Structure 1
Amino acid sequence: MKTKLYVNSANLTAGITMKDAQSFESNNMALHACENTSLIVENRRKLADYLRIRLTDFVCANQTHSANFYRVEKDEKGRGSTDIEHAVADTDALYTFEPNILLAAFAADCVPVLLYNETKGLIGAVHSGWQGTVKEVTLKLFNHLKNEENCRPEDFHVHIGAALSQEKFEVDRDVYLKFKALGYADDFMYYKDSTGKYHIDSQLTVKRQCELAGIPSGHISIDRTCTFMNPDGFSYREDKRAGRHMGFIVRRA
């Protein structure tokens, strides 16, 4: 079970699964992008065993590149863990105050964002593809947590997971203009004359969104693994049939 752990303490584990030729479908974790759903469930079961929790502790969403977020309650354990039908619908950010629930975010080039607030006992997982980044899903979640859940931004820690690098994230002018309209992404973009393409650093754009929400820069880490260039990465840009990593976070009671 190939994983990268960003946090691994007695009461908190956060990380991301990686591509692994020794596992079913190379350790693909996504039921919405697979060849055999039963094998994906088995991969998830192995991850649960590795983390010493149960598969029925997982909560997954049907991601739609939205800016929608959802608070997961205790009785929702297991949603989307073994099937798509019961996953949280039309949602790209999950958070919970409940212990012993694993929150998942699936990505193959998109930016997974894992967050926790030990003071409040809150964890969260965000899927921020370029569309979600333009819609500011991470910033909107943090503003909600500050305004509606009475969280202090300085109490958060954020891990931005492996994603497509700026070198490989090349786009046309229409996408560039959407990022430029944010008003704070100019430093994270450049134009390449030889190809006529713009290159965007989506991870640093998400980091800036965290900072705009008041998260201290020192509380934000970035995994600079490029999902296209690294052999352990799933890349939709490289292969439209690619599997998905799972960014995950769980707080133990």
Structure 2
Amino acid sequence: MKMKRYVDNDKFIAGMTLKDITEPEQHNMALHACENTNAVIENRKSLAVSLGCALEDLICANQTHSSNVQKVTLTDKGRGADRLDTAIPDTDSLYTLEPNLVLCSFTADCVPVIFYNEAKGLVGVIHSGWQGTVQEITRKVFAHLQQTEQCDPMDFHVQIGSALSQERFEVDQDVYDKFKDIGYADEFMYYNESTRKYHIDNQLTVKKQCELAGISSEQIIIDRTCTYDSPSGFSYRQDKQCGRHLSFIMRKQ
């Protein structure tokens, strides 16, 4: 099982699966972007085994580049794990207070955000493509958790997974303007005179959103591996037909 384990201790396990050309569908984990559904399900089963659980312990969402967050419980166990039509609808962030549920997020250049709050026993994932970032999904999720679950932002630990690098994230004026409008992304953008394109660091913009939500920068870790440049990365910008990474977190019983 080719993956990065970002967190693996007696309470939490979190990580991100990687592209592997020796595996079926190059280790693709997404049912919404695959040629062979059964191959993806087998890849997910292998992931579950490596985490010491079963396929039905996974919970997946139908991601729509929204700023929507959904709390899930044991009754949601298995949703989206082996079929698309049971996935949590129209949601780009999942969190739970329950143990032994594997929360999943799918990316191929977008920014995956994985977090836990040990004081509350809470874990979650966020999918933040550029559309989610300009909607401030990460900031909104942590504001929601403070208000709804009475979380102290200083108790959060955040892992930002590998994504498209600033060098590779090349955009036109329209996307630049959307980042400009959020008011704090200027330092994470530059203009390339020769190509007349803007380059944006989506990871650092998301990190800033975590900080604006009250999370200490010392408790935010970024994996700076570029999904475009890495042979272990799925990149939609490089290949529109590519598979997807699965970022996950589970609180152990």
Deviation string 1:13-34 (CA, Å, 9 cap, x unpaired) is: 0000000012110000000000
Letter matched to residue 172 of structure 1: D
Q: Matches of 1:26 and 1:223 in 2, distance apart? A: 21
State the 1:148 CA deviation: 1.2
The answer as to 2:136 corresponding to 1:133 is no
Match for residue 82 of structure 1? 82
Q: Matches of 1:139 and 1:22 in 2, distance apart? A: 38
State the 1:11 CA deviation: 2.0
Q: Matches of 1:165 and 1:186 in 2, distance apart? A: 16
Deviation string 1:85-139 (CA, Å, 9 cap, x unpaired) is: 0000000000000000000000000000000000000000000000000001111
Matches within 5 A, 1:19-58: 19-58=19-58
Letter matched to residue 236 of structure 1: Y
Match for residue 199 of structure 2? 199
SS in 2 for 1:106: strand
Matches within 5 A, 1:145-164: 145-164=145-164
Letter matched to residue 131 of structure 1: Q
Q: Matches of 2:26 and 2:92 in 1, distance apart? A: 24
Q: Matches of 1:245 and 1:16 in 2, distance apart? A: 7
Q: Matches of 1:203 and 1:68 in 2, distance apart? A: 19
Letter matched to residue 66 of structure 2: S
Letter matched to residue 103 of structure 1: L
Letter matched to residue 111 of structure 1: V
> Normalising to structure 1: TM-score of the pair?
0.99
Q: Matches of 1:126 and 1:154 in 2, distance apart? A: 18
Q: Matches of 1:226 and 1:243 in 2, distance apart? A: 15
SS in 1 for 2:85: coil
Percent identical among aligned pairs is 61
Match for residue 238 of structure 1? 238
Letter matched to residue 241 of structure 2: R
Name structure 2 gaps, 5 residues minimum.
none
Q: Matches of 2:37 and 2:11 in 1, distance apart? A: 31
State the 1:73 CA deviation: 1.0
Match for residue 117 of structure 2? 117
State the 1:70 CA deviation: 0.1
Match for residue 100 of structure 1? 100
Match for residue 185 of structure 1? 185
State the 1:164 CA deviation: 0.1
SS in 2 for 1:114: strand
Letter matched to residue 212 of structure 1: L
Match for residue 217 of structure 2? 217
Match for residue 71 of structure 2? 71
Deviating above 3 A after TM superposition, structure 1's stretches of 4 or more consecutive aligned residues are: none
State the 1:158 CA deviation: 0.1
Letter matched to residue 146 of structure 1: Q
Q: Matches of 2:20 and 2:229 in 1, distance apart? A: 15
> Normalising to structure 2: TM-score of the pair?
0.99
Letter matched to residue 240 of structure 1: K
Name structure 1 gaps, 5 residues minimum.
none
Match for residue 251 of structure 2? 251
Q: Matches of 1:51 and 1:4 in 2, distance apart? A: 12
Deviation string 1:155-192 (CA, Å, 9 cap, x unpaired) is: 00000000000000000000000000010000000000
Match for residue 173 of structure 1? 173
